[in-house]
Amino acid sequence: MTRIRSIRPRTRSRALPAALTATALLSLTACGGGGAEGASSSSATALSLAVQAAPASFDPAQLNEGQATYIWSALYDTLLYTDNNGELKPNAAESWKYSDDGLALTLKLRKGMTFSSGAPVNAAAVKATLERTMSTPGPQQVPLASVKSVEAPDTNTVVIHLRQQDGALLTNLSMAAGVIADPATMAKKSSQLNPVGSGPYTLDKATVNGSSYVLKRRDDYWNAKAYPFKTLKFKVIVDPTAAYNALQAGQIDAGPAAPQYTAKLKSAGFSMTLVKATAVANLILADRTGSVLKPLGDARVRQAINMAFDRTKIVKQLLMGVGQPTVQIVNPKSAAHDSALEQTYPYDPAAAKKLLAEAGYPNGFSVTVPSFVFTKQLEPTVGQQLGDIGIKVKWTPVPPQNNLGAIASKKYPMFLFFDGLNTPARQMANNFGPTAVLNPFKTTDPQLTKLMTQAASQLDPASADAAYKPVNELLVKNAWDAPIAYLGNNWAVKKGIKYLGDGSNTNSTIRAFDVVG
């Protein structure tokens, strides 16, 4: 693949459309450790939280990640969890160990755990949940694609056998793929709306699925002290103005605040925590071999596309500062991130046009791109700036229920997507793995495969992130995609509650909230 040359930037600016908020954009996205993360001894009883998406289902095989995770992760335990510092920690599994060849993972479960029904949470339940998830079509099959089989040699031991080493597996077991469900009820229709859970909370009868959720803490949960709130209330509020009004009216205690409301919320006594990177807005250049759109098979064209975007202005004017310009998809707090790479693609339409001409496209070309509900506000700017270098974009509306189908259809050689940040292993696997949803053309490359395999062999979570730095460099310099900006959140919380997140862990977890006192 062609590597980009050093090009002197010739910058010019153009007014961007009216400001939009990152909040609106994101309406999609080992030793024993039983203690709470900063949990205090305060007697606060409830937390009311605004979320932008409801769980589509509580069926463990159909769990979606993103803000719906706040709710289902309070109902289900996961084998492991990621703390607010981004470190992988024991959870239902109190320890784990890989075999010398990295093809078998042994997990030791805590004793005495129970489901909300009183039934035991044991190795048989873990085995049954994993096997059902692996065999049931749904969003959690891919995270478990490396798993060959699962055995439960005794009540508190689970052994996961792998087809190949998988550096993302431990992280996946801390998320939806690692939940523990009740074997007696998990396949029943009732579990879709009101499951028998293994986690610290249960659904209250006041819940209205799709709009509001009320959860009550289990007194018999093994780690109840890590959850200071006896009651959790979640309101599904997509509109930023409605969320602001709910905060002001005292209907919710915390929520992501649109930038135009932060000053008013501060003056009303809310504390604000800005996290500049929780997701990435990425123009995915999926057809990298040019099978549908020939120009994308040339790295110079993909590099030209990267130089078309005035990322700084997009963050300043469109995101109103709640974000960060980037040409990388990895979390900026991870060891895989390389700040020097941010200089790879200066905003330079003239140089981009020159690269297009060298590639044989002096007059540019046309492309049809799907228009998703969550990308609409960014589309005019993306279309305009690509148009400035001669790439004419036609946006085709796609209904929300058809998003994944449109991506998988191979009808669209490129598409704009907002992807939540995670560990580099999981991020790379989700974007560039041969079976990844975000790699619909199944693009492979010998050098990338070699680097990904080497990185995946680093099974120690403490050192795994750095192993993906060469992978990240190759992807950026060969322009496999065109990342535009990290998308952030500005959390508003009322007096007496604190938000603990700093972007190290971007999962939606209730353990990012605590009480003051």
Give me the mean pLDDT over the 265-272 stretch.
95
Distance between CA atoms of 432 and 436, rounded to whole angstroms? 6
| Radius of gyration of the chain measured on its C-alpha atoms | 23
Give me the mean pLDDT over the 419-432 stretch.
90
Q: Please provide the average confidence, as pLDDT, over all residues in the chain.
A: 90
- Closest to 304 in 3D by CA, of 439, 486, 482: 482
Distances (CA, A) of 413 to 150, 368, 439, 481: 38, 8, 10, 11
Among 187, 222, 237, where does a domain finish?
237
Indicate the SS3 state at residue 477: helix
Q: Which residues contact 123 (CB under 8 A, 6 or more apart)?
A: 109, 152, 153, 154, 155, 156, 157, 158
Residues pairing with 393 in the sheet: 367
Q: For residue 311, what is the domain's CATH number?
A: 3.10.105.10
Whether 511 is covered by a domain: the verdict is no
Q: How many domains does the chain have?
A: 2
Whether 4 is covered by a domain: the verdict is no
* Same domain, yes or no: 73 and 176: yes
Q: Kind and range of the H or E element at 157? A: strand 157-162
Whether 392 is covered by a domain: the verdict is yes
* Same domain, yes or no: 367 and 464: yes
Give the pLDDT of residue 43: 47
* Same domain, yes or no: 48 and 137: yes
Distances (CA, A) of 411 to 209, 376, 414: 34, 19, 9
* Same domain, yes or no: 450 and 395: yes
Q: Which residues contact 494 (CB under 8 A, 6 or more apart)?
A: 247, 250, 253, 254, 269, 270
* Same domain, yes or no: 219 and 282: no
pLDDT tens profile 444-499: 999 999 999 999 888 887 788 999 999 999 999 999 999 999 999 999 999 999 99
Give me the mean pLDDT over the 425-442 stretch.
91
Whether 506 is covered by a domain: the verdict is no
Residue type (1 letter), 72:
W
Residue type (1 letter), 478:
N
DSSP state of 326: -
The alpha carbon dihedral of 82, 87, 92, 98 has a sign of positive
Whether 267 is covered by a domain: the verdict is no
- Closest to 299 in 3D by CA, of 308, 287, 310, 311: 287
Distance between CA atoms of 242 and 232, rounded to whole angstroms? 20
Q: What is the pTM of this model?
A: 0.82
Distances (CA, A) of 217 to 229, 369, 432, 478: 7, 45, 39, 50
pLDDT for 45 beyond 90: no
* Same domain, yes or no: 288 and 228: no
Distances (CA, A) of 221 to 112, 121, 406, 420: 10, 11, 42, 30
Give the pLDDT of residue 52: 83
A 10 A CB-CB count for 88 gives: 21
pLDDT tens profile 323-380: 999 999 999 999 999 999 999 999 999 999 999 999 999 999 999 999 998 899 899 9
Among 179, 208, 237, where does a domain finish?
237
Give the pLDDT of residue 27: 42
Residue 442 φ then ψ, to 5°: 55, 40
Give me the mean pLDDT over the 142-170 stretch.
95
* Same domain, yes or no: 483 and 399: yes
Whether 120 is covered by a domain: the verdict is yes
Q: Is the distance from CB of 284 to CB of 88 less than 8 angstroms?
A: no
Give the pLDDT of residue 426: 87
pLDDT tens profile 52-104: 888 989 999 999 888 899 999 999 999 999 999 999 999 999 999 999 999 99
Give the pLDDT of residue 44: 59
* Same domain, yes or no: 340 and 422: yes
CA geometry: angle 201, 207, 210, nearest 5 deg: 110
Q: Tell me which residue has tokens 């599994």.
A: 93
* Same domain, yes or no: 230 and 340: no
Give me the mean pLDDT over the 193-202 stretch.
97
Give me the mean pLDDT over the 5-11 stretch.
35
Residue type (1 letter), 309:
F
pLDDT for 311 beyond 90: yes
* Same domain, yes or no: 336 and 464: yes
Distance between CA atoms of 61 and 353, rounded to whole angstroms? 47
Structure tokens at 498: 């604190």
Lowest mean per-residue pLDDT among 36-45, 264-273, 502-511: 36-45
* Same domain, yes or no: 284 and 220: no
Q: Domain span at residue 301?
A: 278-489
Whether 300 is covered by a domain: the verdict is yes
A 10 A CB-CB count for 351 gives: 21
Whether 248 is covered by a domain: the verdict is no
Give the pLDDT of residue 303: 98
Give the pLDDT of residue 5: 35
Q: Which residues contact 263 (CB under 8 A, 6 or more apart)?
A: none
* Same domain, yes or no: 69 and 215: yes
DSSP state of 497: E
Q: How far is CA 340 from the centre of its chain?
A: 24
Q: Is the distance from CB of 92 to CB of 150 less than 8 angstroms?
A: no
**CA distance from start to end of the chain:** 57
Distance between CA atoms of 97 and 431, rounded to whole angstroms? 27
Distance between CA atoms of 369 and 180, rounded to whole angstroms? 39
Q: For residue 213, what is the domain's CATH number?
A: 3.40.190.10
Give the pLDDT of residue 422: 87
